[in-house]
Amino acid sequence: MLYIPVFGHAVVVADPQLVRQIFTSSPEDLGNISPNLGRFFGSGSVFALEGDDHRRRRRLLAPPFHGKSMKRYETIIEEETLREVASWPEGQPFATLPSMMRITLNAILRAVFGAEGTELDELRRLIPPWVTLGSRVAPLPVPARTYGRYTPWGRLAEWRRRYDVVIDKLIEDELADPNFKDRIDVLALLAAGHETTASTLGWAFERLSRHPDVLTALVEEAETEGNELRQAAILEVQRARTVIDFAGRHVYAPVFQLGEWVIPRGYSIVVSIAQMHANGDIFPDPDRFDPQRFIYAKPSNFAWIPFGGGTRRCVGAAFANMEMDVVLRTVLRHFTIETTTAPGEKWHARGVAFTPKDGGRVVVHRR
């Protein structure tokens, strides 16, 4: 048990049996951890909602993430990747992370939001600094008084205002679409979706450039329509380099019986994702980067948990998976990535997501 300032009393869990219990419990017993990202995206955003409101909002958000929508997005992602990598330098080290941030942001804006033209440009300028600052100050208490323009809170408020202006314009343009208003929660999707996916892709380049055998096999596979190994590699990157290291819940039940423990109402339960992924009983030799472990064995939903689980599981998981698959395939088809014996990059806490400290640096050559 821990006492974490702002979150209060918390228990940390990294056992699949207990995680199963947490992820399958009713949202009336275990709700959203508090405070949460709803403080930035509004009390009406999916991050802040609970119970029926939360269920309804997730249903509204679901359509763009259905499996059948995914195929349509692949072309957009491939286009965005090609546009970005056109300016990659050859023969000298550079960080892939900034490119991945741009690809993933543009991909969501276009695929999920349908933004194009001037609005797309303005959102591209606005969202990256907003998300960076927003996630940095997320755990801090909000000052009670009105915040000045130059404080982080003042800047967040100003960005929020400019974002609303763009969204109002988009709504005006899209009045023909009767369902448009329901898609407003897209800010939550943008923020949650782009940095996490980009960070995982940055790690993918970091890991693959240090594992020549895996890289060679992936290049061969990328020439075909197959993706079994690429999928296994993505799962392994998400296991070995977890970018969101916990999923939190709040105990609403008078007491919550978790395995042999009794957790009182008001406590937080923190599922330690990274600790679970490093558990050698579940993932033998956990420090080894080895996609083979996922080739014949699909991972358990209660042990491989980069997207959290249960009623609050990441709504963008399928989108993120498709996106990472297409970005990697496109890069592997167009570039040779040099391998290196340099030590792995360290972890860097960028805000919500953990990124490779040097931004996933690689040296590439065009094919």
CB of 365 to ligand HEM, least distance (A): 28
Cβ 302 to ligand HEM, closest distance in Å?
11
Question: Cβ closer to ligand HEM: 45 or 330?
Answer: 45
Proportion of the chain in helix, strand, coil states, percent, rounded to 5 = 50, 15, 35
CB of 362 to ligand HEM, least distance (A): 19
Inter-helix orientation angle 212-222/186-208, to 10°: 120
Task: Give least dist CB 193 to ligand HEM, A.
Answer: 3
Nearer of residues 41 and 155 to ligand HEM, judged by Cβ? 41
233 makes contact with ligand HEM (CB under 6 A): no
In whole angstroms, the minimum distance from the beta carbon of 285 to ligand HEM comes to 23
Q: Which stretch binds ligand HEM (CB under 6 A): 113-121, 140-148, 188-196, 208-216?
A: 188-196
Residue 189 sits in the site that holds ligand HEM (CB under 6 A): yes
Radius of gyration of the CA atoms of the chain, in A: 21
315 contributes a contact to ligand HEM by CB under 6 A: yes
Residues between 247 and 306 with contacts to ligand HEM, criterion CB under 6 A: 247, 306
CA separation for the pair 202, 359 (Å, rounded)? 6
- Choose, by CB under 6 A, the member of 18, 188, 276, 282 that binds ligand HEM: 188
**DSSP helix/strand/coil, 258:** strand
Q: Does 22 bind ligand HEM (CB under 6 A)?
A: no
Asked if 312 touches ligand HEM (CB under 6 A), the answer is yes
106 near ligand HEM, rule: CB under 6 A: no
User: What is Dmax (Cα atoms) for the chain?
Assistant: 62
295: enclosing H helix or E strand? none
Q: Contacting ligand HEM (CB under 6 A), which of 162, 313, 334, 348?
A: 313
* Pattern 112-131, ligand HEM, x by CB under 6 A: x-------------------
Q: Is 70 in the site for ligand HEM (CB under 6 A)?
A: no
> How many binding residues for ligand HEM (CB under 6 A)?
26
197 binds ligand HEM (CB under 6 A): yes
Interaction between residue 203 and ligand HEM (CB under 6 A): no
203 vs 335, which CB is nearer to ligand HEM?
A: 203
Q: Is residue 192 a contact residue for ligand HEM (CB under 6 A)?
A: yes
Cβ of residue 173: shortest distance to ligand HEM, in angstroms? 22
Using CB under 6 A, pick the residue from 105, 229, 244, 303 that binds ligand HEM. Answer: 244
Beta-strand relationship, 8-13 and 246-251: unpaired
Helix axes 228-240, 317-334, angle to 10 degrees: 110
> What is the C-alpha separation between 259 and 198, in angstroms, rounded?
36
308 touches ligand HEM by CB under 6 A: yes
Contact residues: ligand HEM, CB under 6 A: 46-47, 58, 108, 112, 188-189, 192-193, 196-197, 200, 243-244, 247, 306-309, 312-316, 319-320
